[in-house]
Structure 1
């Protein structure tokens, strides 16, 4: 490998590494005020009219609770992964759309992006305030009504599946 290419490769790897460290540190900082222990209850209806009782749902398996918004750029990457995870049916998924408009607007957004997952519209912000959400996207794993894992920022379907599996 020529010297110039090697130098650029090393600089690129170092930049990616340090960017990853900064982003991870920032996400950990953002999680400091998020709830731990008993999960705030979510009893609501999804856009398609299905009733959700988070604590009851989490009795049989860990539940992924995903807070997102249609205006969130990172959510445009993570929502398809959550949609695919929801579609495989191995784990229950509850998603909450924050300040994303009316039910019709959220449904139109999801259709345009080919996202298929159960969504609760939190247009008034009550659920997100109860959960102290300060950043989107935010992911919680809830088992038996208890928050067992918190994650913010970018993640993948395999990353979420591993977290859910470890919290069985």
Structure 2
């Protein structure tokens, strides 16, 4: 048990340091295949405003919990040009599950497909979920791995920061 606690602590420290290193990195202008079959470039998605990119998989329970909030943020901040792109890293064999899951949950944000994890590797997103918030100039303004209850508050705070909206007061 002691060894497990040390492992968790070391992982948390590494993630915090690594996440800080990801700030202000400019990402390449990647192309993503969407669930509807269209190809879209990162730069095209960023023309209207900042973008939250979330790497997830159908087998990932924390990913599914986070997606509830991503849908909420997608709807709440869409009028400010903010978008959500959830990129599935499911294996090629599991891609059919992605469409079924998104339909069943009625998510309205964009869903990308990365069955061979090529994009995930380029974005250092091999742990699920990995969430990045990109500014209009393709810079990573926030990077986070994992999801536990309460993380949604930090995600929303980071969205509001990149949109330059200031922070909401309790009850707003």
Does TM, normalized by the shorter one, top 0.5? yes
- Indicate if the aligned counterparts of 1:40 and 1:131 stay in contact, CA closer than 8 A: no
Q: 2:116 aligns with which of 117, 124, 128?
A: 124
- 1:161 alignment counterpart: 156
Q: 1:108 aligns with which of 94, 100, 108?
A: 100
Distance 1:57 1:150, change over 3 A: same
- Indicate if the aligned counterparts of 1:34 and 1:132 stay in contact, CA closer than 8 A: no
Distance 1:98 1:29, change over 3 A: farther
Distance 1:48 1:66, change over 3 A: same
Distance 1:54 1:80, change over 3 A: same
Matched residue of 1:84: which SS? helix
Q: Which has the larger radius of gyration?
A: 1
Q: 1:150 aligns with which of 143, 168, 172?
A: 143
Distance 1:113 1:60, change over 3 A: closer
- Indicate if the aligned counterparts of 1:33 and 1:132 stay in contact, CA closer than 8 A: no
Cα deviation per residue 1:42-79 (whole Å; 9 max; x = unaligned)? 32231124543212332442111111111112112101
CA RMSD of aligned residues (A): 2.8
Q: 2:126 aligns with which of 119, 134, 139?
A: 134
Deviation of 1:132 after TM superposition, in Å, equals: 1.8
Distance 2:71 2:39 in 1: 18
Where does structure 2 lack aligned partners over 5 or more consecutive residues?
Answer: 164-172
- 1:28 alignment counterpart: 16
- 2:67 alignment counterpart: 79
